[in-house]
Structure 1
Amino acid sequence: MAVVLSTPELLEGIFLQCDIRSILTSAQRVCRQWHEVIVSSPAVQTHLYFRPGPPPLPSHGSTLNPLLSEIFAPFFAPFVINTSEGFWDRTEIESLPLARNPGPFMRADASWRSMHVQQPPLRALGVVTPSENVSFLHEREVRMGDLYDHVVRILTRPGQGWRILWRERRTLEDHRTLLEDFNSDCTKEILREVDVVLVRSSGPFRSTTVLASDREFMARFTHPTALKSRLLNVTPPKRIRGRMSRREQREL
């Protein structure tokens, strides 16, 4: 047993059979050798969704990150606009595990922020506001930290709602019904280009004045890394479709 557990090649094979949570929270803390194998092995890093995986076979679609799907469940929930289901607000963010135990999640080096949300990775993110017929395309490698920051940034404004649409998780008929409900040309266009779309919707009108509850939400859920990147390395969208003032563009 000692020989097996001290052999990097055999350790790598064992780690590839382990679930992501066990590797991140337990295995890499056993000793320096185990930690070194985990962080240096391309295969293990791909298994952990830190490195891009190979293209899927034609008969297989993309694979969602199982750990992120569990701890950030609202981000991966199916989205169908109908009479019984609408847009979400801050309640879903406040129900996440990070709201109950913010310490591990809000560290500057928290591993979940660097994880791909699926394999193969997302290469672009669409953001749409169907009611205003406006869309944005962010062409960059999208990780969980990026997706989370986009949602929280939306929710720091009064009266905003959100949902996430995953293209690969729907049949063609689902798409047709969904797009008719959207009634938005910009959404149809952007869905042809990207695998995931963040959909914004304004809630009931109220003053744009920042309230104490708004500041409290921002303080609790804006990640420290996002605060720093927003000041030092703001990446504007590559393309904007629809009417929008320059001031609104700068805010995004």
Structure 2
Amino acid sequence: MATAAKKKTPDVSLLEPLVLTGAPGALHGTLALSNTGAERKALRDLKLTEVKPKTRGAKAQPLLSADLPRVKLRAGASKTVPITAALHPSTPPGVYKMSLPVDGTNHPVEVIVTEVVDFEITPDEVFLVGKPGAKIKKLMVFRNHGNVPIDVPAIGAIQLDLDLLHCRAQREMLKKLRDTERTLDDVMRAMSLSYDAELESFTPLKVKNDAVTVGAGGTVSQIWEFTIPGTIPKGVDATAMIRVSSETVTVHILAV
């Protein structure tokens, strides 16, 4: 009766599990190998298999690239080798599984993808010139280069950041102060009234848009309708800052 062939124990093994971490396009790890055999080993064409997510129902992510150099190990020697790999940039954050065959044995590889917020708004500066109350439409384009969805909210009313507000308020305060009204209380009272009057001369900028979610790797465009404040001095530069995720849109307003 023939005896079953004894399965050969691989000479080269992993000293520790391989873990790759980082952004989808820049995964890094260290491959620690040991050669327990009596002969020198040359490992060629090391390949990582397709990524499979641990989460049930999630889709597998194709591997775009992997830098797995050829490795030569002397008998009884150990070596660590840096490993880099890349998935599709929109691969969601999470933990994925891969497989690395070494010397005839498949070794599990854990891939930890971190969150990347990379959002772009075009244009990031908007210029509004018109009469108080005028409505001006602008095309806005949102590009999500990251791996998590980005919510663009309905903007609504935005408070203005007024250029030269302090100079205008203080100049008006000095005009109204009489020569006999030079005490600290008189000055503070006049300054408060002057600032209140300046602020009341400006109403918020109104922005009309629909809330939208830009998926990872996606591009969305929409029209924003800006309404120049109905109460705003003509010829005075004003700005408004609109924050969306990691980006800011600067709006310049000039009423004519």
TM-score normalised by L of structure 1: 0.23
Task: Identify the structure with the greater helix proportion.
Answer: 1
Greater share of strand: 2
Larger radius of gyration: 2
TM-score (norm: length of structure 2): 0.23
